[in-house]
Chains A and B, each alone.
Chain A
Amino acid sequence: EPEVTQTPSHQVTQMGQEVILRCVPISNHLYFYWYRQILGQKVEFLVSFYNNEISEKSEIFDDQFSVERPDGSNFTLKIRSTKLEDSAMYFCASRDSRANEKLFFGSGTQLSVL
């Protein structure tokens, strides 16, 4: 089965530093998402992206966050100035253009902010 690929698998950073999390969605998918999961808690929606722009974003997705599709294959999440509470597992997901199709999740990037 095709896979969503995320790099790095672990990222440790100092508070206030910028981080970029990278994702390669499945090649024929058109809709892209970032979710995050704080340890022991539920998975939370951050942002959806379609046609090179943000479709929807949650309250969590404030001005410190941005997403980009810099080329035809990568999808990135940038956190400009990390805070301790940004520590979480970040999942990228994608789906194809048909309605009501499943999300394919990547294996995640564990971000630790010190």
Chain B
Amino acid sequence: QQPVQSPQAVILREGEDAVINCSSSKALYSVHWYRQKHGEAPVFLMILLKGGEQKGHEKISASFNEKKQQSSLYLTASQLSYSGTYFCGTAGGTSYGKLTFGQGTILTVHP
């Protein structure tokens, strides 16, 4: 089952903050976050693992609540370049690269 992302869309002005959430009904082994700009490939942002390990982007933070099977991506002091569609991808076990993606959150940052 695919994870559910919220909100579906966010509109910000430069410098504002946003939080994107990702929830799953299945037990999660890891959560991956990607950003995709129109017509381009998804670009890796962050991996969060059970046990609290994180790998990823210096300027973007995220959390992983294993009990609630939720992850949140925190975008602070947004820049125009942050615009795009954000996907969370979940892996349920040792199938590390087999990700089930959420439906995406469209983030638009205006000057």
Question: Using a CB–CB distance below 8 Å, which chain A residues touch chain B?
Answer: 31, 33, 41-45, 48, 55-56, 91, 93, 95, 99-108
Contact = CB atoms under 8 A, between A and B. Distances in A.
B26 interface: no
Nearest to A45: B98
18 contacts: A33-B97, A33-B98, A42-B87, A42-B102, A42-B104, A43-B42, A43-B89, A43-B101, A91-B41, A95-B97, A100-B96, A101-B55, A102-B56, A103-B32, A103-B99, A105-B43, A106-B41, A107-B41
B32 to A, nearest CB: 7
A99 B47 CA distance: 11
Q: Which 4 A-B pairs have the closest CB atoms?
A: A105-B41, A102-B44, A42-B101, A43-B101
A103 B47 CA distance: 10
Nearest to B41: A105
Interface in B74-111: 87, 89, 94-104
- Majority SS at the chain A contact face: strand
Contacts of A104: 44
A95 B96 contact: yes
A89 to B, nearest CB: 8
